[in-house]
Amino acid sequence: MADNDPILQMELSTRIFLGLFAGVATGVFFGELVEDLKVFGDIFVKLLQMTVLPYIVTSLIAGFGRMTTTEAGRLARRGTAVLSAIWIIALALIFVAPLAFPRLDAASFFASPTIVDGGANSLLDLYVPSNIFFSLSNNMVPAVVVFSIFMGVALISVKEKDTVLPIFDGLSGALARINSIVVELTPFGIFAIAASAAGTMTVEELGRVQVYLVTYVALALLVTFWIFPGLVSAVSGIPYRGILTTFKDALVTAFATGNQFVVLPLIAENCKALLAQQGLAEDESSSAIDVIVPVSFNFPSLGKLLVLLFVLFAAWFTDTRLDPAQRLGLAFNGLFSLFGSINVAVPYLLDTLRIPTDMFQLFLVTGVVAGRFGALLAALHIVVVSLVGTLAMCDRLRLSWSALGRYLAVSSLAMLAMLLTLRTYFATFVPDPPSRQAVLAGIQPRMPQVETVVRTEAPAVAPRTERAPTGRRFDEILERGVLRVGYRPQNLPCTYLNESVRVLGFDADMANSLALDLGVDLEFVPFEMDALSPALDAAEIDIAMSCLGSLPDRYASAAFSRPYLELTLALVVPDHMRTPLSGSDAAQRLNDLTVALVASHYFVPRLKQIAPDVDIAQLTNAEDFFADPPPADALLLSAEEGAAYAFRHPRFSVITPKRSIKVPAAYALPRGEIEWHDVIGNWIEVKRADGSIDELYRYWMLGGVTKTSRPRWSIVRDVLGWVE
């Protein structure tokens, strides 16, 4: 392509926006058909990343090594002051922004709790470079920075450093050159990233948390285009327009890639160029820029700090009221916890404030949008720290009270306008979210359904003094043409009664499958564990199908089929107790608690063995545990059932021990009915062999209920009809 091609003559930021727009249009047109373009986007990001760590090492060593001891000390003092001022301003904005949230009843979709990997590296590994080659190969940026600072500071007092520094300067220049070449590919990389994201992201994912997303985006734009560029202009005299013009390519690239790390070399070069335009000699600014840019990357940036807005949103969303002391604690704890991984910090902050930890799942969903703006803010943070820090070190700040006064007045008015606009928007366009019962009512069964009658009242059956003749239950079922299945009405995801008086769940689907295979209709009959035996004996129910653990002490009430599932034992606890009971001293902490069991004494001696002083409470059904206040501190239940209860009661979490304990789930049957037992046992093996049990487990217990089977809407499929 010729050099005079009009496309090549466009500014890089313009070409990036064209690539972004073309990618979004392609994703909307083709939908999931362009999902594989993500591979090319990943290649582009890795090309950008390949020079960054070497650049950090060479620039930091050269930057510190070129300084005197006095200059290094001055940089540390003044850089800390600048960074602290930026943090204070950012925190103030974040805690004011929730004033835009509307008054809304808190209720929406919560994903079932899952274990989230917050990162395997400890803080020591992250910050202490015991093996610099390990830190480099595992992308541990803080440890690489610490090593480079030590090397650079040590080089300050080396007499022969003048022979060493040119080598690092040359390497740094070569790496910057490589980065600038790769940056030219940005429009193509952005096209691939945007097409893949737009082709796979659903509208529903954004709609769940639009209050947070709209507020986040509005605040991010205000911070990017006025708050901090205006602040830099007010304290330095650099024209506001010049700041945005100089750094637009770096900011757009960080936004488009969702990665501020890849633009560090570009930011450094832009800072040097802008300061040179302001008459700051290269020997004054170069060392400071080479140090501040890579170092600032390792401190909580504006992009990370804005994560605290999600915690405040989560408190609003779940109607968790925070007093001033808790807000102050959130600011302090949030700042220091964000030195590490966001995926560690957010669950920790939610736990600290006793906000339902299910909200972390919604936080992950917002990453598609918020991650882009977070990278933009992180890049802006590096720009602001580098410019103001360098000017402060060189005594070139121009503090004017009149300029600061105008800046504060405009910023206050802009913030007020943003809050009023958001309040108006939310009042107009934010609908009341669906209740949990409405969400449950919308779930559809997985298996074909037979003619069904649902009873909602448990039968009043007195225990028999003499047992009736046995051995004909299977014949009776076939003769009456109806299979009577006992269910527990609130035992999601196994069986539950929805608002339409319909029994749904794993075992409800299994019951329909059994009735279909036997050629009979179906009748669902509710039961309580303490009345199970007489209901089975009186033929009020023929089989109880509701994730019953076939524990030895329950054989006094009923016989059990062979197991059809293995459930994982877990504890259900209030959210604020999740972290204490997940630690290494969990067994010791149980000594001070009351643990509830559901209609079984089997685990009492086992609990007493690991926690001799634990108190035990017996419950008729698991739902009793979720009263206000709960009758016990923890509930021993299967993780599969516990996750579903945590959906309905989001202030509770599920803790699964590291060494999992399995409990066989089986169907309760009347004693003495040998033929009926054989029928059910063989039928279970058939369902296991044909994959029905695995399919239902994935659907009801591994989140398949929430996954759409239809491809996302796209023009090529839903408008033009070119593909099925």
DSSP 57-95: HHHHHHHHHTS-HHHHHHHHHHHHHHHHHHHHHHHHHHH
Which residues on neighbouring strands pair with residue 598, listed in sequence order? 619
* Cα 368 to Cα 291: distance, rounded to the nearest angstrom: 31
Rounded to 10 deg, the angle between the 367-393 and 228-236 helix axes is: 10
429, 448, 463 - which closes a domain: 429
* Cα 90 to Cα 302: distance, rounded to the nearest angstrom: 7
Which residues on neighbouring strands pair with residue 495, listed in sequence order? 491
Cβ atoms of 469 and 671 within 8 Å: the answer is: no
Neighbour tally for 630: CB within 10 Å: 20
**720 belongs to a structural domain:** no
| Per-residue pLDDT reduced to its tens digit, 74-122 | 777 877 888 888 889 888 998 998 888 886 544 333 333 333 333 444 5
Hey, what are 10's tokens? 């466009």
CA-wise closest residue to 430 among 160, 129, 206: 206
Q: Which range (229-238, 511-520, 708-717) has the least confidence?
A: 708-717
User: Do 467 and 347 have their domain in common?
Assistant: no
Hey, what are 422's tokens? 């958001």
User: Do 242 and 359 have their domain in common?
Assistant: yes
CA-wise closest residue to 710 among 31, 28, 13: 31
Distance of CA 452 to the CA centre of its chain: 40
Q: Which residues contact 373 (CB under 8 A, 6 or more apart)?
A: 216, 217, 220, 255, 303, 306
* Cα 326 to Cα 284: distance, rounded to the nearest angstrom: 44
User: Do 168 and 311 have their domain in common?
Assistant: yes
Mean pLDDT of 248-268: 81
Which residues on neighbouring strands pair with residue 486, listed in sequence order? 525, 544
Distance of CA 613 to the CA centre of its chain: 37
Asked if the model's pLDDT at residue 580 lies above 80, the reply is: no
CA-wise closest residue to 102 among 484, 424, 492, 435: 424
User: Do 517 and 658 have their domain in common?
Assistant: no
Amino acid at 580: P
* Cα 657 to Cα 584: distance, rounded to the nearest angstrom: 10
**32 belongs to a structural domain:** yes
**590 belongs to a structural domain:** yes
User: Do 682 and 535 have their domain in common?
Assistant: yes
CA-wise closest residue to 523 among 477, 484, 571, 493: 484
* Residue that wins the pLDDT comparison between 593 and 52: 593
CA-wise closest residue to 64 among 297, 393, 392, 287: 287
Neighbour tally for 109: CB within 10 Å: 19
Which residues on neighbouring strands pair with residue 100, listed in sequence order? none
User: Do 547 and 475 have their domain in common?
Assistant: yes
374, 401, 429 - which closes a domain: 429
User: Do 572 and 503 have their domain in common?
Assistant: no
Cβ atoms of 418 and 220 within 8 Å: the answer is: no
Q: Vertex 592, ends 640 and 639: CA angle to 5°?
A: 5
- Write down the pLDDT at residue 222: 93
* Cα 147 to Cα 140: distance, rounded to the nearest angstrom: 11
Cβ atoms of 490 and 641 within 8 Å: the answer is: no
CA distances from 463 to 206, 542, 557 (A): 55, 16, 11
Strand bridging mode 521-526 / 662-669: unpaired
SS3 of residue 668 by DSSP = strand
Distance of CA 599 to the CA centre of its chain: 36
**712 belongs to a structural domain:** no
CATH number of the domain bearing residue 180: 1.10.3860.10
Mean pLDDT of 384-398: 82
Distance of CA 409 to the CA centre of its chain: 37
**635 belongs to a structural domain:** yes
SS3 of residue 667 by DSSP = strand
Q: Which range (4-8, 166-170, 354-358, 517-521) has the least confidence?
A: 4-8
Q: For the chain, what percent of residues have pLDDT higher than 70?
A: 83
Amino acid at 405: G
**723 belongs to a structural domain:** no
Buried/exposed code over 595-605 (b: 16+ C-beta within 10 A; e: otherwise): bbbbbbeebbe
SS3 of residue 665 by DSSP = strand
- Write down the pLDDT at residue 703: 64
pLDDT averaged over the chain?
Answer: 80
**Number of residues that this document lists for the chain:** 724
429, 454, 475 - which closes a domain: 429
Signed CA dihedral, 316, 320, 323, 328: sign only: negative
Hey, what are 530's tokens? 């303490």
Q: How confident is the model at residue 670 (pLDDT cuts 50, 70, 90)?
A: very high
Neighbour tally for 465: CB within 10 Å: 5
Hey, what are 318's tokens? 């779940």
- Write down the pLDDT at residue 116: 37
Q: How confident is the model at residue 519 (pLDDT cuts 50, 70, 90)?
A: very high
CA-wise closest residue to 541 among 685, 679, 667: 667
- Write down the pLDDT at residue 346: 79
CA-wise closest residue to 658 among 570, 595, 576: 570
Give the pTM.
0.57
* Cα 214 to Cα 183: distance, rounded to the nearest angstrom: 30
Which residues on neighbouring strands pair with residue 132, listed in sequence order? none
**231 belongs to a structural domain:** yes
Asked if the model's pLDDT at residue 432 lies above 70, the reply is: no
Domain tally, the chain:
3
* Cα 588 to Cα 584: distance, rounded to the nearest angstrom: 9
* Residue that wins the pLDDT comparison between 483 and 116: 483
- Write down the pLDDT at residue 202: 63
User: Do 535 and 574 have their domain in common?
Assistant: no
Neighbour tally for 338: CB within 10 Å: 21
| Per-residue pLDDT reduced to its tens digit, 602-629 | 888 888 888 888 899 988 888 889 887 8
* Cα 244 to Cα 382: distance, rounded to the nearest angstrom: 14
User: Do 172 and 86 have their domain in common?
Assistant: yes
| Per-residue pLDDT reduced to its tens digit, 190-213 | 888 888 877 876 655 555 567 888
* Cα 236 to Cα 230: distance, rounded to the nearest angstrom: 10
User: Do 515 and 621 have their domain in common?
Assistant: no
Residue 618's domain comprises: 568-665
User: Do 597 and 612 have their domain in common?
Assistant: yes
Cβ atoms of 212 and 316 within 8 Å: the answer is: no
Max mean pLDDT among 70-74, 547-551, 703-707 falls in 547-551
Q: How confident is the model at residue 700 (pLDDT cuts 50, 70, 90)?
A: confident
- Write down the pLDDT at residue 455: 93
- Write down the pLDDT at residue 688: 94
User: Do 234 and 272 have their domain in common?
Assistant: yes
Asked if the model's pLDDT at residue 123 lies above 70, the reply is: no
**721 belongs to a structural domain:** no
* Cα 167 to Cα 552: distance, rounded to the nearest angstrom: 75
CATH number of the domain bearing residue 701: 3.40.190.10
CA distances from 530 to 53, 215, 519 (A): 65, 52, 31
Rounded to 10 deg, the angle between the 401-429 and 228-236 helix axes is: 170
* Cα 477 to Cα 90: distance, rounded to the nearest angstrom: 70
Amino acid at 524: F
